[in-house]
């Protein structure tokens, strides 16, 4: 008998959670941005409790191995354990005596951190509904941008204040402190990460919370997790659903990669070292604002198709300007900054894919993990071919090909939209994509 558990199509609805209960004028205003500020009191209290602990776990934990979690381990055990190993490896870099040791340590550090993002996406997708998920994915994505904006200043301060202390070079202190800071955070993860609603043992959720959480998420079509097996894996990777998600995911990540070459242009254009380091942080700030805004709009309106494609059109405009190149400096600056907004397409697509595949827990949890692997493989060669260093900062073909990637991303989103609509018609499942086509 096959180990594959057939998943019964679930009725997916944006209205399974009541967001229409009104309380006060200030809650109505805050509720336009953050869903748990208003609504039915029991629902609001539950979501706020999950936010308070699980979000904290997302920001402080890392390094899940997705396949291992699906087969054997609880995230609340495995993620913190990996975090502790990661901390030890980072501190080990401070004691490295040669470059070979650094390479080896860096390899294992990368190995333990590789699945952090898809692991937390899977946790978010297991707890939050279609009116809640996108903004939280956007926040998760932008934690890295926020860290990038401030880490340079923190590292500079630590280096200057600790260099030579106890006979240890400043750069070695950076690794030591990175590892030390992570240890208490990892220990908290053993208690704070809630696993999934059907398997949670979180101390901050009482029996009533756990029962309510299962009922709540099942109304949204979420099924309990199924132990991963070879048959399940084959079923997932031979299905069109995962590949129609991966294609636009990879193309979207590629089409706004002009941000990687902003610094090179600033240097070539004669900007000072200070400006070369500071001006891109404004792009990161813009990305944070647009990511959160698009997350809120996606959760409030459900118009994921329009929100994604509108930004992809802007990416094409950005790359067209960069392809022309011989335009005023202000126009090039505008084009580079515009490219930062493209990162906001990713959380919308992730939340959309998670919702469309609500009834298949294994597929839902492997979507981002697999997409990241393909994306990493893709970006291994594209910079070398499209953006060779000898062409910097004006590239002969690079930005033109990014226009193509933007167009392919739009086609990929349209294809995914079409195929899920066709599937919905066949199985009489309510499809949630473009709001105007929600009821078929």
* Percent over 90 (pLDDT), the chain: 30
Fold topology of 239-378+385-422: Growth Hormone; Chain: A; (1.20.1250)
The stretch 417-439 carries a mean pLDDT of: 67
- For residue 25, what pLDDT is reported? 63
| Predicted pLDDT at 307 | 97
Q: Which of 45-54, 114-123, 185-194, 415-424 has the highest mean predicted lDDT (pLDDT)?
A: 415-424
Start-end of CATH 1.20.1250.20 domains in the chain: 44-131+146-213, 239-378+385-422
Residue 23 banded pLDDT, cuts 50, 70, 90: low
Please check whether residue 246 is in contact with residue 371, taking contact to mean a CB–CB distance below 8 angstroms. yes
pLDDT at residue number 220: 82
3-class secondary-structure state, position 439:
coil
pLDDT band for position 408 (cuts 50, 70, 90):
very high
Q: How far is CA 162 from CA 39, 91, 153, 169, 180, in A?
A: 51, 15, 14, 8, 15
For the chain, what is the HEC assignment?
CCCCCCCCCCCCCCCCCCCCCCCCHHHHHHHCCCHHHCCCHHHHHHHHHHHHHHHHHHHHCCCCCHHHHHHCCCHHHHHHHHHHHHHHHHHHHCCCCCHHHHHHHHHHHHHHHCCHHHHHHHHHHHHCCCCCHHHHHHHHHHHHHHHHHHHHHHHHHHHHHHCCHHHCCHHHHHHHHHHHHHHHHHHHHHHHCCCCCCCCCCCCCCHHHHHHHHHHHHHCCCCCCCCCCHHHHHHHHCCHHHHHHHHHHHHHHHHCHHHHHHHHHHHHCCCCHHHHHHHHHHHHHHHHHHHHHHHHHHHHHCCHHHHHHHHHHHHHHHHHHHHHCCCCHHHHHHHHHHHHHHHHHHHHHHHHHHHHCCCCHHHHHHHHHHHHHHHHHHHHHHHHHHCCHHHCCCCCCHHHHHHHHHHHHHHHHHHHHHHHHHHHHHHCCCCCCCHHHCCC
User: Which tens digit of pLDDT belongs to each residue from 160-190?
Assistant: 777 777 788 877 888 888 888 888 988 988 8
Residue 361 or 27, more confident: 361
**Predicted local confidence at residue 16, as pLDDT:** 44
Between 37 and 399, whose confidence is greater? Answer: 399
Per-residue pLDDT at 295? 93
Tell me what pLDDT residue 177 has: 83
Residue 385 pLDDT: 85
Most confidently modeled range among 157-161, 211-215, 372-376: 211-215
Mean pLDDT of 343-363: 91
Which CATH number is 44-131+146-213's, of 3.30.499.10, 3.90.1150.10, 1.20.1250.20, 3.30.565.10?
1.20.1250.20
Mean pLDDT of 3-26: 47
298 vs 10: which has the higher pLDDT: 298
Predicted confidence band at 291 (pLDDT cuts at 50, 70, 90)?
A: very high
Give the separation between CA 323 and CA 379, rounded to whole angstroms: 20
- The per-residue pLDDT for range 61-113, each reduced to its tens digit, is 333 456 666 667 788 888 888 888 988 998 998 888 888 888 888 888 877 87
Q: What is the pLDDT of residues 387-399, one digit of tens each?
A: 888 888 889 899 9
What is residue 17's predicted lDDT score, i.e. its pLDDT? 44
pLDDT at 419 over 90: yes
> Comparing 240 with 429, which gets the higher pLDDT?
240
């Amino acid at each position: 008998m096959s180990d594959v558990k057939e998943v019964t199509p679930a009725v997916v609805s944006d209205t399974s959670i009541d967001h229409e209960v009104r309380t006060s004028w200030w809650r109505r205003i805050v509720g336009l941005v953050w869903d748990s500020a208003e609504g039915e009191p029991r629902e609001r209290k539950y979501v706020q409790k999950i936010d308070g602990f699980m979000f904290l776990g997302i920001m402080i934990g890392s390094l899940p191995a997705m396949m291992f979690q699906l087969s054997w381990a609880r995230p609340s055990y495995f993620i913190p354990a990996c975090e502790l190993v990661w901390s030890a490896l980072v501190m080990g870099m401070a004691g490295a005596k040669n470059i070979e040791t650094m390479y080896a340590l860096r390899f294992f550090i990368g190995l333990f951190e590789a699945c952090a993002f898809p692991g937390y996406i899977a946790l978010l997708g297991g707890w939050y509904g279609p009116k809640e998920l996108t903004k939280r994915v956007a926040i998760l994505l932008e934690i890295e941008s926020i860290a990038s904006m401030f880490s340079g200043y923190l590292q500079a301060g630590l280096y200057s204040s600790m260099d030579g202390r106890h006979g240890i070079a400043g750069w070695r202190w950076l690794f030591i402190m990175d590892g030390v800071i992570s240890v208490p955070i990892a220990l908290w993860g053993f208690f704070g990460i809630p696993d999934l609603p059907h398997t949670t043992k979180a101390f901050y959720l009482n029996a009533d919370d756990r029962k309510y959480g299962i009922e709540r998420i099942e109304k949204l079509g979420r099924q309990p997790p199924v132990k991963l097996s070879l048959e399940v894996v084959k079923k997932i990777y031979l299905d069109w659903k995962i590949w129609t998600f991966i294609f636009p995911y990879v193309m979207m990540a590629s089409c706004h990669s002009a941000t990687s070459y902003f610094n090179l242009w600033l240097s070539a254009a004669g900007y000072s070292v200070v400006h070369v380091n500071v001006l891109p942080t404004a792009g990161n700030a813009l990305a944070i604002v647009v990511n959160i805004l698009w997350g809120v709009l996606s959760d409030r309106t459900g118009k994921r198709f329009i929100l994604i494609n509108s930004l992809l059109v802007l990416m094409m405009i950005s790359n067209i300007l960069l392809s022309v190149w011989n335009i005023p400096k202000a126009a090039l600056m505008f084009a580079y900054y515009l490219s930062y907004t493209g990162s906001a397409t990713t959380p919308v697509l992730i939340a959309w894919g998670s919702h469309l595949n609500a009834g298949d827990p294994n597929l839902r949890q492997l979507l981002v993990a697999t997409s990241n692997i393909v994306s990493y493989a893709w970006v291994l060669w594209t910079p070398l071919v499209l953006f060779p260093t000898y062409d910097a900062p004006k590239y002969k073909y690079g930005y033109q090909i990014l226009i193509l990637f933007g167009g392919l991303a739009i086609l990929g989103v349209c294809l995914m939209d079409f195929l899920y609509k066709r599937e919905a018609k066949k199985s009489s499942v309510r499809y949630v994509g473009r709001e105007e086509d929600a009821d078929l």
